[in-house]
Amino acid sequence: MGLFRHRRDYQLPEDWEDQVSAVVVRWFDHSVEERTTMRDLIVRLLGEKRWEAANGFTLTEEMRLIISAQAAMLILGLDWSAYRKVGDIIVHPTTLVLRGERASASMMGLATDEPMAILGQADHEGGPIVLVWDETERNARHPERGFNVVFHEFAHKIDMLDGVVDGTPPLATVELHERWVAACTAEFEAIRAGAGSHLLRDYAGTNAGEFFAVVTEVFFDQGTELQEDRPELYAVLSAFYRQDPAARERTHR
Ligand SMILES: [Zn+2]
């Protein structure tokens, strides 16, 4: 396993933004101010979190940049403290297959049959974020598909901020909390009944934590579609994340 030690003086390579935007295709949809904010978040992710390559993988700086850039996009409207529950970040080369012990519900799985294929994991408070590199890269290149393992796993860590993975992150006001619970509960129950938004895959019905992680992926990747299909769900996510991906898409389409 290759370890990357904490480096508080982390310096980005000069061409960092070329490296990021070559893969993270929506990078330049963000304004200069937004990219400056995200740059600081990327430096902190690279310098202050512990990164580890698994299974003999060679985890390059470019890969860590691409992962960090997506993680920074998620908390652009929040702040660095949103990642205080993020510990180690472990990157595997390709899909993990878990055998034997049953997969926990907080994993992002490809299939429910055993053995279970895993694309990422952010299992428990204090536990590592596990990512699969090839899927991470695919997601960054093809946001229109609505899958993003980085958004998904980092969203689980945001959900954990209040100490419990229940699909409800800390919300600013009682009113927003009530709107959040109403919108998310209605959609979650619709998914469980087989009548959810076509944008939200069945996996969102696993539990409230998975619902939040999957909706987060779709909110950022398919914001316009989600806003059209489920305006109130889009509105509460927009109020929480303090971002409006649909407006950003309109500007850049
Ligand atoms: Zn998950």
Measured in Å, residue 108 CA sits from the centre of ligand 1 at 4
pLDDT at 112: 46
Strands 107-109 and 51-53: unpaired
pLDDT at 114: 54
| Residue 35 Cα distances to 43, 76, 191, angstroms | 12, 9, 35
pLDDT at 106: 47
Distance of CA 94 to the CA centre of its chain: 18
Measured in Å, residue 29 CA sits from the centre of ligand 1 at 27
Measured in Å, residue 33 CA sits from the centre of ligand 1 at 31
CATH of the domain at 188: 3.40.390.10
Per-residue pLDDT of the chain (253 residues), as tens digits, is 445 555 667 899 999 999 999 999 999 999 999 999 999 999 999 999 999 999 889 999 999 999 999 999 999 999 999 999 999 999 999 887 766 544 444 455 554 445 667 777 876 777 899 999 999 999 999 999 999 999 999 999 999 999 888 999 999 999 999 999 999 999 999 999 999 999 999 999 999 999 999 999 999 999 999 999 999 999 999 999 999 999 999 887 6
Cβ-based neighbours of 185, under 8 Å, separated by 6 or more: none
**Element holding 15 (H helix, E strand):** none
E strands, the chain, are: 2-4, 51-53, 89-92, 96-98, 107-109, 116-122, 129-132
Measured in Å, residue 119 CA sits from the centre of ligand 1 at 9
**Number of folded domains in the chain?**
1
Range of the domain at 109: 2-252
E strands, 84-209, are: 89-92, 96-98, 107-109, 116-122, 129-132
